[in-house]
Structure 1
Amino acid sequence: MQQDPDLIARSANELVGDLNPQQAEAVQYRGPALLIGAGAGSGKTRVLTRRIAYILSQFGAWPSQILAITFTNKAAAEMRERLAALIGPVAERMWVSTFHSACVRILRRDGKSIGLDPGFSIYDTADCERLVKLIAADLNIDVKRYTPRAILSRISDYKNNLEGWQDKLREQAPDYRPGQRGYQIGNPGNAEALYAVVYAEYQHRLAAANAVDFDDLIGRTVELLRRDPAVADYYRHKFRYILVDEYQDTNHAQYVLVRELAGVDAAKGAPVPADMPYAGREGQAWITVVGDSDQSIYAFRGADIRNIQDFEQDFPNAKTIMLEQNYRSTQTILDAANAVISNNEGRKPKKLWTALGKGEPIVGYAADNAQQEAAWIAGEIARLHGEEAIAYSDMAVMYRANAQSRSLEEALINAGLPYQLVGGTRFYERREIKDAIAYLQAIVNPADDVNMRRILNVPKRGLGARAEAIVVGYADMNAIPFYAAVERLDSIEGVPTRTANQLRAFRDLMDGLRKFAADPANRPSDIVAEVLSKSGLLDELRKSEDPQDASRVENLSQLQSVAAEFEQNTPDATLAGFLETTALVADSDQLPGEGEDSGKVTLMTLHTAKGLEYPVVFLTGMEQGTFPHSRAMEDASELSEERRLAYVGITRAKRRLYVTRAAVRAQWGQANEMMPSQFLDEIPSDLIDWKRREAGVERMRANWSNGGFDDDEFGGWGDDDFGGTTYGGSTYGSSYGSSESASGSSYGSGTRRFGAGAGSRSRGGSAGGSRSGSAGSNGRSGYGSRSYGSSGSSYGYGSGSGSSSRSGRVTTRRVAPKTGGSASSAAPGAPRDNGLNIADFHVGDRITHDMYGLGTVVDTLDKGAKSVITVDFGSAGTKRLMLNRAPIEKL
């Protein structure tokens, strides 16, 4: 086969000479199916790019025959850069993109056969929610009971599983016809019927607007390949080598898409020579997937870990090569990650190792509360930057849920430390940016009702809900798009004169902008400038006296700069292409590139951190109910996913890892006592250097000797009210002042009140306390937490400057006296040691619990006085119990 003249010839030795044996084997493998099990930091991107270069130079393939799929634009750009360095400018002509970007290209070119015009709009989450709200209003759906976000989540599930709206409607509401007006759902409590009706109407309106959402990009491409044999044959002949990164994160629709593009099922039964040295024009394309089942953390988005676990079953002739040498982290960090993930069952054995040496121990810190945890982290960041000259951009703070960021942000602000928050309000989701982009979308696709209706009265031009309703009514009656009704304004009866004049002005504005955009001489940045000027968006913000509007003007200026940058990087740049780029941006795409110093500490969720790495990482909120999340406590598969998330978090660290927890964390306005995360138990104790092993409240409790509560256990009581006994009828809180760490350093934390109602008092503690309270995901207390009452008085037990704190709480509750002893012999509320010994418990033993009933021991963990047993209580679920505190009896 003749080589592409732009392709740089590379010898096999040049491509594999500096790789380790497993990497070299993966690069050179010849065969129809290859799974590269790439552990964290094992150089998978390097292997993937070298394999592409090897296929081109050694297999004799053409660049156009290769499709490489990544999960983020940033990863795709990095891969293209590496390929350009290896094989020259021909890399720019290859399909190296995300799933969604590849599908957009396919649908723009061939979507007409399934009813998609090439200029279709791509709706983001905000657009989709707006569309669902419009549908809910027309169908008289209670959006408080069925929120647009919940409805969209269900629709997304349907699409990820390739369940069409026709099938769902046939099953649940066969009498409904999309586009039908005045329909009443027979039983509003029938959620499945409601979801089916909204799904059908949602797809109907997307089609009418010539629009798709993100899930459609995958699902409709699968539909296209299945419904149009000519299109399917074109892409199956075009792509002979398909390489997919992060395969463990694929959902069912993406899994099917890969098989359709590769022609796996179409090629079944076709003879393929066993010794074939490359993928021929006929038969199945050669598939290479790269991934790590230990890093599958997106089940909530529909990712199916079985796709990678069952790869060898899906492709019987598949070869699996494991990459275990890590080039990122120290051995201490890897030992911690290996120890945690080894507790997951059903995984392929893999143990990461490195030649980088043991490195420094993991640093642990147990704070009294979330504010003290954040203050200590801020202090440590300041120390690392000041004393060790570690750049702020080399440090990242990671947490399980966005709600945890509040106390961290406050601490960094108070300490004067620069930071960037990833996963907050994204640039393209800001109101003024959404307004500007809605104009651009409406210019490109006038049938886009959602965006056209958004800008009808933005900025305010006297076209309110009444005017919109008049146009909508005419559009519905004539089955035409919203803007088509505006264009037929003169045919609409009963329009007030003032409203008609404003609608004509809007129509003239949009027609003028469309003509300006249609002129080939006007580039995307010119069109953005014209829209901002002629629409009045910029003038309205400039005239405003609201100081926040000044920053909104800067954001609009940034949008024009983004368009100009797009022109510089894109030959033949178009407005539609610019909008496509902005629609496909992910959170992680907004982070600075490798080697680029942002000058800021990065705060992000663990899910966002996937694929990133930092010299210093702080893993926060390591408590039962926080991380692992409370939802995972009674679901083995969810707990396994949480453990994979912990593995991802640990392996983001290159040189130093910190693990921190809070003894008390606020949820829904209540202070909850939190037990240490089981993931901390799973890390060998000799790997962690605890600067403060126990919080003040825990040290105080440990000093109490007898009597008191029997509820201090991992399996927490939540809101179960202890069988009707009120907990916290009178509550005495504690405020935390300075706490002396094991190393002798003193870190301040603000005053903290527990369960203080009206008229509560606080005494002691340090000045400058920060406000408390962060919302959880539901109204229940977290797993492993104990909830304090919301009434009564709160009294602080602070510490003076430089003294060791005795932070704690005292609560009253009716407790039966122990046999042979006095109930008054111990401090009120002191935890009871039930005298049980871990040596007496074994897997399979039967026990009875005062609350959960009969159970079977399924695991034991010898931690001395803090030993833990895991018990399966059947319908009550599996619980982890602190042995010496749990109200249990061995049978």
Structure 2
Amino acid sequence: VLAYLRLIAFPKDDLSLGRIINVPRRGIGDATLEALAQLAAVHQVSQLEICARAQEFPALSRTSGRLQLFATLIERLRQALLSDQMSFPEYIEWVENETGLVQDILDQQEKSKADSVDRIENLKELLSDAVEFDQNRKTQIEQLAGSGPAQQPDTADDHLILATTLPDILNAFLERAALYSEMDNDAGEQDFVRLMTIHSAKGLEFKAVFLVGAEEGLFPGYRSMASESDIEEERRLAYVAITRAREKLYVTTARSRLVFGQTQSLMVSRFIREIPDEYMDERGGSRRGDRSAEFGETPKIDNPFVTAAPARRGPAANGPVRPTASSPAPTAMGQTGPTASGPAKKGIDPASVHPGDRVRHTSFGEGKVIRVDPVAGDAILLIEFGKVGQKRMLSRQASLEKL
């Protein structure tokens, strides 16, 4: 998705074009890509411009239609950006859907369910990042308005203060992503915390270890919570993580967390609650309680992706987030964002859908739910629509209503 966003923002970015021109698959092979690069070099224009003019070049005659469709897609996404009619998170969600990335995941589900889950999670995490980025930007603008004359920004994050239009916000977002990438590649000889998965840490030891996100739904992950054997496997991973520390182990949990675009309060991980008290020095809270209870809510353990409160779109208020059960649900990747033609149609809460339910789709008419596969706070529905056959759809995304 980042490569799509870079090409939308910078149409001359040939490197990004090469990464996405065939994602999802468009039948554009290596020979065509090589011809694109050669023609762009000869004519001293971008490869995207060559795609738009593909019918002019005999070397591209076999794929000219596909190349022009791709160029038209990028131009449409770019015009939506320049029109500045959506919020930043809405635009990211819209791009994820309009590029065909979401539908490609659904189409590939039967071949590799685990891979489909991971890819959907990646898309939703990018949306979470966009929501958080936009909240921080609005907060900085609010603070700037009350702090007198603006000072010249000197870091990537400071540029957020100046970003008010959708194109500028996207540029700032991409600039920050590039800065973080450079920081990851330039650790030098200074002291730093090395980021790694628990699997990759096997066999290694460190003086100090930070285990972050020790919460139900994250560790153990929500996909493991339905199987005792999967829970035991993650318990073994917890043992691996804890025993990587030679001297000090820091375990952190969040009071509230933005997960897949939604603010949630999760319980402290069972693996941490199982550690004897004499080995723990607790700061800032109790692992015996749960985060929802701290806010006066009923704990929601069985379904860690039940939303406690929406990710706020306005400027962030001072102090911690105080979720309320009555707050309306936010727009997440599972719900289609606004398009140039009108507002988005809401989908169905995945928790309310079961095999055998009757639903109505705006295009396919009435159908029967055959299967429900929970995934990343959403669900992939297999629906039988009679004459048009079976279709796979994301519950929150599709234009569906229960009958």
**Quick check: TM above 0.5?**
no
TM-score under structure 1 length normalisation: 0.18
Bigger radius of gyration among the two: 1
TM-score under structure 2 length normalisation: 0.38
